[in-house]
Chains A and B, each alone.
Chain A
């Protein structure tokens, strides 16, 4: 039985096409469709319900040393209000989940994890906690709404005071108000655009959703579903857990080396990553040079030699072209390498390209 987010009735009201996803009933698209929703986020603004995400708080004098042992990124030197992305590895160097940690203050960190992994993550944290620190799962008490696109700041300014608007990407303002509603305002997202994510009490979520939609209408704001969320993140080459990484794929293979600090003190998975050395396969982008759309789990070939497998793929609405990501053997990861992909028995020609496929102008 799937759970409903606090915005379920709102999605039905706005004619969202509801599907089960990660244990929740969520809209895959609204009436305007995936392509229009995708384009709204690239050119104007889109509104997403991401209340299915999990939230964990880590508190106590040993919070920082716990995070630095648990996660591959380094949290020393993080400022209050700053956010930092990290993979969380298992002992074998595979990825338990990828997540974002916000520093609230020295002894308090706010962690956002993937919906499908939240129980596994929390159990993993509980299993590895040490010293004077406590992990608390507050997922049930937190709703999350994302406002994404070039018009996001203009819309937010109509509803919030200057002090409530984080100035820098990957930073947050705690205990602020948007339209009179208490929330955490974070300048983050999963679309490749500028934008904000609001964390708030579930009971307030429908009111904030309606207020944002109403306020943003003149700026072209429309509600967006999971379909556009996936095409936007793929076009921006943002990895998705269960696709570009999982329990058996290391963050180095997934191209997340800049979030793995091998020079810091010990962290879970470090010994194995060190012993393995440079990865023998890596994440690449594929541009389709033949005809067709390459999806996930398609085998990639150089002639008759199997050289890897795709991890995600779709038609990218803004680029108006299909694109895929794949894990390929090292010898084939240089940009410009010609490969073939088995798409349901048919060979489709593709070329390795640099990621991301799309990068916003700054």
Chain B
């Protein structure tokens, strides 16, 4: 399983990529997409919506079930990846390319893990 070292990770299996302008791209980790299975629907917020660290801001649906996506940061949605609305399978195919939203005006962030700590966390979840 692939977990790039330049990203930060939440314990609810989202990745965060902080940009030079202070905004952040948020997506689902490889571990998450594998656990969820084939994704067939994505429900995203709109640009301008506020998101809150630790709270659901989107949902993704596999053939079998719906799962909330939690925001690792608080801020304002600057942009949503509308390509995913028609092609949710991109989340499975390229989890680190298929970002869900870009959040700006970040005021708060959850405790985030680096890649090594996240890999250990996933292993504990698997065996727990």
Contact = CB atoms under 8 A, between A and B. Distances in A.
Interface of A: 28-29, 33-36, 38, 227, 230-231, 292-293, 295, 314-315, 317, 322, 344
Interface in B20-45: 37-38, 40-41, 43
A109 to B, nearest CB: 35
Nearest to A227: B64
A314 B64 contact: yes
Contact of B37 (A29, A292, A293, A314): A29
A315 B37 contact: no
Contacts of A34: 37-38, 62-64
A292 B61 CA distance: 9
Contacts of B43: 292
B63 A35 contact: yes
Contacts of A29: 37
Interface residues of B, number: 11
B64 A33 contact: no
B47 interface: no
B122 interface: no
Of A29, A38, A227, A293, which is in contact with the most chain B CB atoms at under 10 Å from its CB? A293
B64 A293 contact: no
B117 interface: no
Nearest to A38: B63
16 contacts: A28-B64, A33-B38, A34-B63, A34-B64, A35-B38, A35-B40, A35-B63, A38-B63, A230-B64, A231-B63, A293-B40, A293-B66, A314-B64, A317-B40, A322-B41, A344-B59
A36 B38 CA distance: 9
A315 B41 contact: yes
B61 A293 contact: yes
Contacts of A344: 59, 66
A317 B41 contact: no
Contacts of B40: 35, 293, 315, 317, 322
